[in-house]
């Protein structure tokens, strides 16, 4: 099988998570597949990734455009009728009624990061539709404009992850380096209720856990936690944000993401824990494990590999990512293939393969593979004027901005 045919198979089968196995009432992405107790739970951020996957499906010929439009309309209708908190959506909701499902005791309201991932998908779809579906585009635009980004800031220089009418601002400010960069870009570029750039400049960048600068496996890591953290840091925001030549404050974001992927690969090849299967398999990130869900990383390594880790890193390390894809396709006699592409994770040391799929692992497989192949989602998202405005307002430079970013 050629590389192109294998990638087609991976993308088309993984896409079924967001079509065949989406919630039948709302069309939104279920949180997970494989646990019947979650059948009614849909996820906001995973749905944003799913919207982007639908575009890939149409453009690759895996899905009829009419079917994709019908699903996007159903999702839009459900979101319009569901509770919002200062314009933001909860992490989880009931797929039929839209009722909020608390993600944790203090997270029973709006989740601004999950909402940002959803809005990344909403804007990408809006740009894809262009003038061909004006009524649907206008409804998507209304969802985007309603988000009160500043409403998640107890003061101008700090953005909080959560807000609910019961608990107020959550206990988690957005600090350091992790998956949430797109939240600041969208918030800064919003035409209504925008963030103050101080939330990015002070609350995010000046926090103690933002800078790194250390060397791991002879690779310098500019930002983030020790040894890079879980690989989804380099995936979620960059489903839409094009990291190529994206710079700000001396930071090259493609170099950052590539360094994190290289360190993760080098760690798995060195395999200090002596786990079975490492080498051809690599990619430590958040996924299911034999003892439950965990954010695996080089500093939290239990021998569990998630296929999404390497596959979604295809834009950064095409050779090792493609080698991993070929390995997963035949590993354990094909036992890694599930109902929607590869199962979520496996651990050879414990002879274990997950029987689950998870939305936020499935989406980046489809989307980041497509960005590596064609740049499709990057082109669409970066074409949105609000995205360009947000990047400019925060001081970024990018080829998409035509003259570089402005000052904060």
pLDDT digits (tens, 9 = 90+) for 293-346: 999 999 999 999 999 999 999 999 999 999 999 999 999 999 999 999 999 999
pLDDT band at residue 130 under the 50/70/90 scheme = very high
User: What's the rounded mean pLDDT across residues 108-120?
Assistant: 98
d(CA 104, CA 162): 11
- Whether residue 260 has pLDDT greater than 50: yes
The predicted structure's pLDDT at residue 106: 85
The predicted structure's pLDDT at residue 101: 97
Q: Specify the CATH architecture of the domain 3-401.
A: Alpha/alpha barrel (1.50)
Burial class (CB in 10 A: 0-12, 13-18, 19+), 211: middle
- Whether residue 404 has pLDDT greater than 80: no
**β-pair type (294-295, 337-338):** unpaired
- 187 φψ region: left (φ > 0), alpha (ψ -120 to 50), beta (else): alpha
User: What's the rounded mean pLDDT across residues 242-266?
Assistant: 98
Residue 342 main-chain phi, psi, to 5 deg: -75, 145
The predicted structure's pLDDT at residue 276: 98
The predicted structure's pLDDT at residue 402: 82
Asked if 360 and 344 count as a contact pair (C-beta separation under 8 A), the reply is: no
Query: CA quadruple 107, 108, 110, 116: dihedral positive or negative?
Result: positive
Q: Over pLDDT 90: what percentage of the chain? A: 97
- Whether residue 405 has pLDDT greater than 80: no
The predicted structure's pLDDT at residue 403: 52
**DSSP code at position 216:** E
Instruction: Give the domain ranges of the chain.
Output: 3-401
Mean pLDDT (the chain, rounded):
96
d(CA 241, CA 235): 10
| Prediction pTM value | 0.97
Q: Where are the alpha helices (DSSP H) in 40-133?
A: 44-60, 65-81, 112-129
Q: Please name the helix (run of DSSP H) or strand (run of DSSP E) that holds residue 94, with its range, or none.
A: strand 92-94
């Amino acid at each position: 099988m050629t590389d192109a045919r294998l990638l087609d198979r991976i993308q088309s089968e993984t896409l079924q998570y967001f079509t065949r196995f989406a919630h039948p009432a709302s069309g939104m992405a279920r949180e997970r597949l494989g646990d019947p107790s979650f059948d009614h739970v849909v996820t906001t951020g995973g749905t944003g990734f799913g919207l982007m996957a639908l575009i890939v499906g149409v453009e690759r010929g895996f899905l009829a455009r009419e079917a994709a439009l019908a699903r996007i309309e159903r999702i839009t209708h459900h979101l319009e009728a569901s509770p919002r908190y200062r314009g933001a959506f909860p992490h989880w909701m009931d797929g039929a009624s839209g009722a909020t499902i608390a993600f944790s005791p203090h997270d029973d309201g709006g989740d601004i990061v999950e909402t940002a991932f959803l809005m990344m998908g909403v804007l990408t779809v809006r740009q894809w539709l262009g003038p061909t579906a004006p009524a649907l585009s206008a409804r998507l635009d209304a969802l985007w404009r309603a988000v009160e980004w500043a409403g998640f800031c107890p003061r101008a220089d700090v953005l909080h992850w959560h807000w609910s009418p019961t608990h107020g601002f959550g206990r988690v400010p957005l600090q350091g380096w992790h998956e949430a960069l797109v939240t600041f870009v969208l918030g800064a570029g919003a035409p209504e209720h925008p963030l103050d750039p101080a939330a990015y400049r002070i609350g995010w960048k000046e926090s103690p856990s933002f800078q790194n600068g250390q060397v791991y496996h002879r690779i310098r890591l500019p930002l983030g936690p020790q040894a890079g953290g879980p690989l989804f840091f380099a995936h979620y925001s960059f489903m839409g944000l094009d990291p190529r030549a994206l710079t700000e404050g001396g930071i090259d974001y493609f170099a950052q993401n590539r360094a994190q992927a290289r360190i993760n690969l080098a760690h798995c090849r060195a395999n200090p824990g002596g786990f079975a299967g490492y080498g051809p398999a690599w990619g430590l990130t958040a996924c299911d494990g034999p003892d439950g869900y965990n954010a695996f990383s080089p500093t939290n390594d239990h021998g569990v590999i998630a296929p999404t880790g390497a596959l979604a890193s295809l834009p950064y390390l095409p050779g090792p990512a493609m080698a991993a894809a070929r390995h997963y396709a035949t590993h354990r006699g094909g036992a890694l293939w599930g109902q929607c592409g590869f199962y979520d994770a496996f651990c050879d040391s414990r002879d274990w393969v997950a029987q689950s799929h998870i939305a936020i692992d499935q989406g980046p497989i489809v989307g980041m593979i497509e960005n590596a192949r064609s740049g499709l989602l990057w082109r669409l998202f970066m074409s949105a004027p609000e995205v360009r405005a947000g990047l400019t307002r925060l001081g970024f430079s990018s080829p998409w901005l035509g003259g570089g970013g402005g000052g904060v």
